[in-house]
Chains A and B, each alone.
Chain A
């Protein structure tokens, strides 16, 4: 998809002015984080499981080549095929070719962030294959031609009225007098439409939450059951997954599943965890005849071994979004591309280039909540700083900000000069405040004083007062 990450500031301003979005985001605050807290409390081993999940992913990344080869061998033994793709374009070409080979007119899809990343829907459409998103939220935003605003709740930004309007506009056979006020009615409407699509589809395209090297299995996690209808009904099942999704064994996958749903929605387990291994077996009454895994790099190997290596541990649970005060202020679309929240702010510059996503690593207070809740303990604030460092080194930081910083750093590096100027400045500011204790406006600090008063300095610096009072202390150094 087209990125608007470069316009983060404008996107964010628009989002802040959107009252409906605000309602949706307020609801988020009371939902997922609270449920996660309860789920974590209920499982005494939760923190230890997070450590293990982190260690498993870490170990895999250190041995990624071996695990990928093992995975491929098992897929082939089970009768499937692995397609290695370096770029989004290669993956798109591969998937289209498989669809054409299957004579596919319709492809059902279960939500895949990698699918969004490579914009597979647009590509299929362009070549005469109809892609149908089947995750309810993803279906809604597909109709609206919007990107997801949350990695596990793609339509979280929409109200039920907006969804009803969308259905009325896009569902041609929808009777005008059919009531669509309630969420249940909207669900039934979508379910009915999608049922026909599921049955008619020639190819089912799913993502994968994990790939298991031990068995060549792909793991799918959903609550709706849409993924299960996506792979079990059509003749061909294509799994689209990026390299870092691999885990060694079923036991390792199990450990990660124990932290995934709890971190994401606060469920003990998602409703459907599905392990697919190869095509249907002789005698099986259902299941696909072909099983393809499209294994995508798209920038992962560039992250491997570098500053953003740990980001490859991410299991896409969305906890960092759900807990991020920035995400909760501006929502997912402000980030301007497929991912959002802290994980997006780290990942997006890696995938579409730092110069196209300049604001993302900066639009954070580095409050650390994301790292606190990350099930695989990714040091997200550290990586946001790493981007800022790169930007500063590449002179991408704004001239004014650089000048301000250099000015400050110069004084901070010369304590005696700093003292003189500090005393002058706070003395002057104190006078200027005329005893009111604060300013309503301040030159160069418009960003602060548009919304806040600025507390005024007390008149003399602490250090000069301290040493004025206690000259004996001044000599210590």
Chain B
């Protein structure tokens, strides 16, 4: 941008989430591209780590609060905070404010951060009014509604709206698209057998759609479902929705080998 526009571009802080940061950077790049293409200036503060949800859901509010404090400080000066995860976005939006019951100053800052925090696809559709991302994807996909995105962040039609604008893509809804995949953060390692039953039901439901690709907006769920699909030897590819929307779905899918062997 060589010429300064009349109004400053919307400045978005991208909270990449620890799972994207550690395991699947291309979701971060895809998210940034989608935001930039829609005219936003995107920053990725180095001071971000995890949203604190593992601690919070384990009842460890003190640690969750310490992490929340860092996150708030790192992100509070942006116009918006955008998260490519309904679960982490839900943590920032709905659970941070309650962590500071005895600290009115931090509670106010948490509320102000919460007010400008959005899940990626909801931000694109509801705030930026993006309708088409101008990409193509040749194939049938099915979309899993992650629990937090659906129930905490009200994400349901937005990803579908964006997928409808992808050339060549056809969406095949699963019967149980709104049912939990059994990930649940630490739940899946604490209660592996129950989680296993849940993800198996999920995998069956996905296979029933006949879709070649499974998409969702939460990497935790995607890793869980990809892990089980692979273990069961099912070839369905698994990707974060941002990869498809940004036209960056050409690399290996989640859990897939890096180079195709002949």
Interface residues of A (CB under 8 A from B): 9, 12-13, 16, 325-326, 329-330, 362-369, 371-372, 385, 387-393, 397, 401-402, 405-406, 408-409, 411-413, 415, 418-419, 422, 425-426, 435-438, 440, 445-448, 450-458, 460-463, 465-467, 473-474, 476-477
Distance (whole angstroms) from the CB of A174 to the closest CB of chain B: 37
Q: Which of B118-168 contact A (CB under 8 A)?
A: 147-148, 150-152
Complex Cα gap A72–B3 (Å): 79
User: Interface of chain B, helix or strand or loop or mixed?
Assistant: helix
B193 touches A13 (CB 8 A): yes
Can you show 28 pairs from A to B with CB atoms below 8 A apart?
Answer: A326-B194, A330-B197, A363-B191, A364-B184, A365-B185, A368-B152, A369-B180, A385-B59, A387-B59, A389-B60, A392-B59, A409-B64, A413-B63, A415-B46, A422-B21, A426-B22, A437-B257, A438-B256, A440-B231, A447-B188, A448-B188, A448-B189, A452-B227, A456-B23, A460-B25, A463-B21, A463-B46, A473-B44
B192 touches A447 (CB 8 A): yes
Distance (whole angstroms) from the CB of B184 to the closest CB of chain A: 3
Complex Cα gap A408–B185 (Å): 13
- Interface segment among B50-58, B109-117, B209-217: the answer is B50-58
Complex Cα gap A293–B58 (Å): 42
Residues in A neighbouring B64, C-beta threshold 8 A: 409
In the complex formed, the residue of A with least CB distance to B191 is: A363
In the complex formed, the residue of A with least CB distance to B147 is: A367
Interface residues of B (CB under 8 A from A): 16, 18, 20-29, 32, 43-50, 52, 54-61, 63-64, 66-67, 70, 74, 147-148, 150-152, 178-180, 182-199, 201, 223-224, 226-228, 230-231, 252, 254-259
Complex Cα gap A16–B196 (Å): 10
Residues in B neighbouring A392, C-beta threshold 8 A: 58-61
A12 touches B48 (CB 8 A): no
Residues in A neighbouring B191, C-beta threshold 8 A: 9, 12, 362-363
Complex Cα gap A422–B16 (Å): 14
A438 touches B152 (CB 8 A): no
A368-B148 CB under 8 A given contacts A363-B194, A435-B258: yes
Complex Cα gap A63–B199 (Å): 45
A393 touches B59 (CB 8 A): yes
A455 touches B227 (CB 8 A): yes
Complex Cα gap A405–B60 (Å): 8
B74 touches A385 (CB 8 A): no
Residues in B neighbouring A367, C-beta threshold 8 A: 147, 151, 180, 184
Residues in A neighbouring B20, C-beta threshold 8 A: 462
Residues in A neighbouring B22, C-beta threshold 8 A: 422, 425-426, 457, 461-462
Residues in A neighbouring B189, C-beta threshold 8 A: 445, 447-448
In the complex formed, the residue of A with least CB distance to B219 is: A455
Distance (whole angstroms) from the CB of B113 to the closest CB of chain A: 15
Distance (whole angstroms) from the CB of A20 to the closest CB of chain B: 15
A411 touches B255 (CB 8 A): no
Complex Cα gap A409–B54 (Å): 9
In the complex formed, the residue of B with least CB distance to A435 is: B258
B147 touches A368 (CB 8 A): yes
Residues in A neighbouring B45, C-beta threshold 8 A: 476-477
B193 touches A12 (CB 8 A): yes
